[in-house]
């Protein structure tokens, strides 16, 4: 595992070193090519801004109003039936919607229950094993003007639920409940 942590640390400097060098060897005017490519950056960022604004406003209101807490409460009976600790439920609901929102909840759970408690570990595993599906779909599809998503959301959210249940399973298996 430590080898992979090391790789993660060096991969960006390596790419910054290797790609321009390879380009130079292949006689590409490297700086001009870089600037040509980089000039598209601002266009891409501006294009996704409306999708960011729309998503973040809806999620922000849903959370701040207390509707989010109500929804988590509503789902609680189903979860205790499956043996899932209700404390992590808000995290499971928030995770597909907002990366920073979920990170906030994870930080709170780790802080309140301790990083080495069952809840703390489970929150860590859930945070690391799923992604902000709903948000990614809206921004990625939005960036190229796709409005009909077909079955994309079903696949993404289905995978999130599986990862979430698997997190509970492996956390119990490795660290005991």
Partner 1 sequence: MVNVIWLILLLSGILVAALNGNLPLVTSAAFDAVAYAVKVAIELIGVISLWLGLLKIAEKAGLVRLISKIVAPIASLLFPDVPRSHPAFFAIIMNLSANFLGLGNAATPFGLKAMEHLQELNPEKDTASPSMITFLALNTSCITLIPTLVISLRSQAGSADPAEIIGATVLATTCGTVFAIVFNSILKRKYFHKH
Residues 61-90 touching partner 1, rule: CB under 8 A, are: 61-68, 70
Minimum separation from the CB atom of position 41 to partner 1 (A):
3
Q: How many residues interact with partner 1 (rule CB under 8 A)? A: 105
Our CB check for partner 1 shows the closer of 81 and 171 to be: 171
- Tell me if 44 contacts partner 1 by CB under 8 A: yes
Please state, in angstroms and rounded to a whole number, the distance separating the CA atoms of residues 110 and 86.
15
19, 74, 78, 177: residue in contact with partner 1 (rule CB under 8 A) = 19
- Tell me if 160 contacts partner 1 by CB under 8 A: yes
Minimum separation from the CB atom of position 89 to partner 1 (A):
17
Letters for 135-154 (x = contact with partner 1 by CB under 8 A, - = none) are -xxx-xx-xxxxxxxxxxxx
End-to-end alpha carbon distance in the chain: 25
- Whether 91 contacts 130, CB under 8 Å: no
Residue 123, token pair as written in the block? 């929150």
Please state, in angstroms and rounded to a whole number, the distance separating the CA atoms of residues 90 and 62.
13
Among left, alpha and beta (phi > 0; psi -120 to 50; other), residue 132 is beta
Q: Which one, of 169, 157, 32, lies nearest residue 96 by Cα? A: 157
42, 81, 82, 176: residue in contact with partner 1 (rule CB under 8 A) = 42
């Amino acid at each position: 595992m430590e080898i992979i942590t090391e790789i993660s640390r060096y991969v960006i400097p390596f790419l910054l070193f290797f790609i321009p060098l390879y380009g130079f060897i292949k006689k590409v005017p490297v700086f001009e090519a870089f600037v040509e490519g980089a000039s598209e950056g601002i266009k891409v960022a501006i294009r996704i801004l409306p999708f960011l604004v729309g998503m973040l406003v809806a999620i922000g209101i849903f959370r701040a109003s207390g509707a989010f807490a109500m929804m988590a409460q509503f789902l609680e009976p189903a979860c205790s039936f499956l043996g899932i600790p209700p404390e992590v439920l808000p995290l499971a609901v928030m995770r597909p919607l907002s990366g920073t929102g979920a990170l906030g909840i994870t930080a709170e759970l780790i802080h309140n229950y301790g990083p080495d408690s069952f809840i703390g570990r489970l929150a860590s595993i859930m945070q690391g094993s799923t992604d902000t599906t709903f948000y990614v779909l809206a921004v990625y599809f939005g960036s190229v003007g796709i409005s009909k998503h077909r079955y994309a959301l079903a696949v993404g959210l289905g995978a999130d639920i599986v990862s979430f249940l698997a997190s509970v399973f492996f956390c119990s298996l490795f660290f005991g409940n």
